[in-house]
Chain A
Amino acid sequence: MERMQQIVGRARAAFRTGRSRPLEFRIQQLKALERMVQEKEKQILAALKADLNKSGPNAYSHEILGVLRELVRAMENLPSWAAPHPVKKDLLTLRDKAYIHYEPLGVVLVIGAWNYPFLLIMQPLIGAITAGNAVVVKPSEVSENTAQLLAELLPQYLDKDLYAVVTGGAPETTELLTQRFDHILYTGSSRVGRIVMAAAAKHLTPVTLELGGKSPCYIDKDCDLTVACRRITWGKYMNCGQTCIAPDYILCHPSIQDKVVENIKATLKEFYGDDVKSSPDYGKIINQRHFKRILGLLEGQKIAHGGESDEASCFIAPTILTDVSPESKVMEEEIFGPVLPIVTVKSVEEAIEFINLREKPLALYVFSNKQQQLITRVIAETSSGGMTANDVLMHSLVPDLPFGGVGQSGMGAYLGRYSFETFSHHRSCLIRDLRWEVVNKVRYPPGSMELMHL
């Protein structure tokens, strides 16, 4: 308890000195992070390989590239994001200065997840630093190599008092959450999201929760199945299905189910070869607990493809399930693994109803050639954190789109400008003149109704 208090106390004291506020200082810290990523690339890739068996190019493009992009975006835009934003005035305030003044919140807590362990600490950290805050990061202990590496590297490159790394599991996180922060960004499960928000409530701390859910993927009869299935296969089996915005399950008409399976099978062969286990590009399940959990979801299911597993290496082959019942276990929880259930629906109406009966997902996917009617309709009649039509995952890569969930999949958003706004206080400022008192006369008592109608 004392240790957490000290760490947070030190960060708060450092914040109070005001040194994290000048833009030059923030950019200096961001530049240091850029150097860190470039200089320590080998170590970062090694940690990701050890934790998730991510291959070099894969890890680089899915974690490091995203971090570098975020750094460049922040450094480029900080001056314009941080500038006071003048607002429209009315007759009464015409002579005044009215603007929004962006200010740091104070001490921000970032709790990372294990599936993109480097990315999900670095991107929020970059946002919080850009907005001028002090930051405490708590990487996931499940991806222990990356956590250890961050604990070693960050203090080497960043201001040690303002930015701290806390390692540990649930007990340490619980302790940390008793401290007072000025914003908490948490990435992880809805269950723990509730715990984080309840802890935050004690201090009236605003939160951004990046959670999860079952992201549906509807495939319309009228679409290029080869292309659709290739794109879906890519997004589903990347990182062995351990992606918060992976297409979780497919909804399609029974008449195309077999073709969907065939296409995915063909694509899998294209991607990973005949022997997936020996492909350098296919990851692994993070640990035994999740391995067992995912295998458990296969019970009683019709396995159209895959199903092979190896406990020692936490390997589960890319798997497709067909004719899945909506009431089965695999349709209850977020799969977060390389298992793709197909649930058949007779129409887009049925698909929409199916989706709306369930919790709002983090992402939603729809494949169709009928852009104007069907896709437009699906977007209009459903709700989700974000969505992509005719592809998967890609909305998270558009620089100016906010990334976040809704309902059980989360609250708030970040990335790019949204990070800056999330981690800043938007202070409304009105600066008047002490003269021109005559203008104020109308508002003072004794009140007159005639004066009201001005």
Chain B
Amino acid sequence: NPYAGLVSHLRASWLSGKTRPMEYRVAQLEALGRFLDDKKQQILEATASDLGKPPFEVELSEIFLCKNELHETLNNLSRWMKDEHVDKNLAMQLDSAFIRKDPYGVVLIIAPWNYPIHLCLVPLIGAIAAGNCVIVKPSEVSKKTERLVAEALPSYLDKAGHSPYPPILISLQDCFAVVTGAVQETTRLLENKFDYIFFTGTPTVGRIVMTAAAKHLTPVTLELGGKNPCYVSDICDVTNVARRVAWGRFFNAGQTCIAPDYLLCTIEMREKLIPALRKAIDDFYGPNPRESPDFGRIVSDKQFQRVQRLLGSGHVAIGGQTDEAERYIAPTVMVDVQPSDPIMQEEIFGPILPIMVIANMDEAIDFINSRERPLVLYAFSSNDKVVNQVLERTSSGGFCGNDTLMHMTLTSLPFGGIGNSGLGMHHGKFSFDTFSHHRGCLKRGMGREPLNAPRYPPYSPQKFGLIRATSKVSRKNDCTLL
């Protein structure tokens, strides 16, 4: 077990209590802020190299959103850390009952390649805020960013130190570590006992992570994926819908877990949407998106080939151009796709938007409900009731009416999946809560022992009556007059 030493080193640090004081946590979080500021240029360069990420997108999704989480956490940490006192019944009026937020211990965060800084840092912020020691495993697919995180991040956190550990680079400190490597290394890492595992990635690997966690009874949060449906009703402002959908679909060249994956609308709406989408794409990226500095690239050859293959069924209505050398796939809209086509079977994770034609909202809802529950569901309509109907009659991790992606920008909303799209949630206080154990605590006094008399044997109906009287939860008045 090549990582046993590392994990036990962190566990020893954890047991020393070093990560628990608020001052320590605040110092680490502030250091993360400095990392984002100091290394901005390197982040821009690394993500541009890995994903062709436009600087604007990096600023927004990798830096700005992380900083929001950071500030939200720093602003509220002392309040979140406080014991939460709860109501007591009659028998316990003089006692102190509260929920203590205990760190778990040693946390493992496994990050994906599509938002390699954001999806490393946002969970890390939560884990540190909750007082844990953390091992971060960035994705090997976004190579340059992986290197940046492994080399630069540790020096901001805790004590820096390097321990060459062939064949994988490990940056060793007391309370934080970055582990690099691919599938094999991750598998070996998962053999160890962690106190919490936070994984972002595919459902397939999510199962593997949870199975490994089960061996140690380690709780997990899994942020997975799926096909996020986007229903567009006949009553809507087509121009605005097209812009909002195009923005969400083509951001990061479609490699976003909450991107609208496919569109559902009537044939009449489709005929209006296609020119509107064409115009939106032209407004955003110009007549040749390949030359736009604002459009990204596919992360790897393997992913490029996978996405390119999805173009094989149906018809291209907009775009469709590809360039293997650049891993470029044009912003594309497809029509005439069948539910059984590969493009409708797997999460696209690329800049292709298939449009499925349905007769009406009921058919759209049936279609959505016959498939795995997605990470997010979108519904567009100028009619509130339609949006509400779709919400009420479906199930998904999150929901956004009349826009895409935006629900994840509010730190006050929990971000997580359901069913195949994941379990658990994070962002803002939900991150802090995810990485803390909520310990129910009751502090009693040694006096007033006669009050306890009714509970002791020998049992009797009289004693029982007293217990009921002092600890009963009664129905409030069923008065319906007002």
Contact = CB atoms under 8 A, between A and B. Distances in A.
Interface of A: 16, 55-58, 60-61, 65, 69, 72-73, 75-76, 87-90, 92-93, 98, 100-101, 103, 105-106, 182, 190, 193-194, 197-198, 200-202, 204-206, 209, 211, 223-224, 227-228, 230-231, 234, 270-273, 279-282, 356, 367, 369, 371, 375, 379-381, 383-391, 394-404, 406-408, 410-413, 425-435, 437, 440, 443-449, 452
Interface in B446-463: 446, 449, 452, 455-461, 463
B441 A400 contact: no
A100 to B, nearest CB: 6
Given A211-B217, A398-B88, 8 more contacts: A57-B459, A61-B467, A230-B449, A383-B439, A386-B440, A434-B240, A437-B240, A444-B247
B464 interface: yes
B410 A93 contact: yes
B459 A400 contact: no
B165 interface: no
Nearest to A60: B464
B102 A389 contact: no
Contacts of A446: 284-286, 292-294
B184 to A, nearest CB: 20
A100 B428 CA distance: 14
Interface string B49-69: 000001111011000100000
A442 to B, nearest CB: 10
B459 A391 contact: no
B482 to A, nearest CB: 15
A57 B401 contact: no
A386 B439 contact: yes
Contacts of B215: 194, 198
B295 to A, nearest CB: 7
Contacts of B395: 103, 106, 425, 427
25 contacts: A57-B459, A72-B474, A106-B395, A194-B215, A201-B210, A204-B224, A204-B423, A205-B423, A224-B446, A280-B458, A282-B457, A379-B441, A381-B17, A398-B88, A398-B92, A400-B87, A410-B217, A428-B410, A430-B410, A431-B384, A431-B387, A432-B401, A434-B237, A434-B402, A443-B247
A230 B444 CA distance: 14
B458 A383 contact: no
Given A206-B424, A429-B407, A434-B240, A271 B475 contact: no
B87 A447 contact: no
Interface residues of B, number: 111
B474 A194 contact: no
B400 interface: yes
A432 B285 contact: no
A58 B459 contact: yes
B219 A411 contact: yes
B55 to A, nearest CB: 7
Interface in B61-101: 64, 86-89, 92, 97, 99-100
B437 interface: yes
A88 B391 contact: no
A250 B388 CA distance: 57
Interface string B98-112: 011010110000000
B210 A452 contact: no
A103 B438 CA distance: 23
A424 to B, nearest CB: 10
B428 to A, nearest CB: 9
B240 A427 contact: no
Interface in B362-394: 369, 380-382, 384, 387, 391
Nearest to A430: B407
Contacts of A182: 419
A391 B442 contact: yes
Contact of A426 (B219, B416, B419, B446): B416
Given A204-B206, A446-B284, A398 B442 contact: yes
A204 B208 CA distance: 10
A198 B215 CA distance: 8
A73 B407 CA distance: 33
Interface in B390-429: 391, 395-403, 406-407, 409-410, 412-416, 418-420, 422-425
Contacts of A402: 99, 438, 440
Contacts of A101: 391, 399
Given A411-B217, A427-B398, A72 B406 contact: no
Contacts of A92: 406, 409
Nearest to B384: A431
Contact of B15 (A57, A356, A426): A356
A430 B100 contact: no
B18 interface: no
Q: State the 10 A-B residue pairs at the shortest beta-carbon distance, nearest first.
A: A447-B56, A401-B440, A445-B294, A197-B214, A201-B210, A400-B86, A428-B413, A87-B412, A386-B440, A430-B407
B328 to A, nearest CB: 16
Which one of B15, B214, B222, B438 has the greatest number of beta carbons of chain A within 10 Å?
A: B214
B368 to A, nearest CB: 13
A121 to B, nearest CB: 20
A100 B397 CA distance: 11
Contacts of A105: 418
Which one of B384, B406, B413, B440 has the greatest number of beta carbons of chain A within 10 Å?
A: B440
A55 B402 CA distance: 61
A397 B222 CA distance: 32
Contacts of B243: 437, 440, 444
Interface string B201-219: 0010011001101110101
B443 A390 contact: yes
A434 B241 contact: yes
B195 interface: yes
A426 B414 contact: yes
A447 B294 contact: yes
Contacts of A75: 475
Nearest to B393: A18
Interface in B228-244: 236-237, 239-241, 243-244
Nearest to A92: B409
B473 interface: yes
Which one of A356, A407, A429, A434 has the greatest number of beta carbons of chain B within 10 Å?
A: A434
A104 to B, nearest CB: 9
A201 B207 contact: yes
A432 B441 CA distance: 42
Contacts of A273: 458
B302 interface: no
A282 B423 CA distance: 43
Contacts of B396: 427
Given A426-B414, A428-B407, A206 B423 contact: yes
A377 B285 CA distance: 60
Given A60-B464, A194-B215, A406-B437, A204 B471 contact: no
A92 B407 CA distance: 11
Contact of B203 (A204, A385, A395, A444): A204
A106 B409 CA distance: 28
B133 to A, nearest CB: 14
Contacts of A432: 400-403, 406
A111 B45 CA distance: 52
Given A88-B412, A386-B441, A398 B398 contact: no
B399 A430 contact: yes
A107 to B, nearest CB: 11
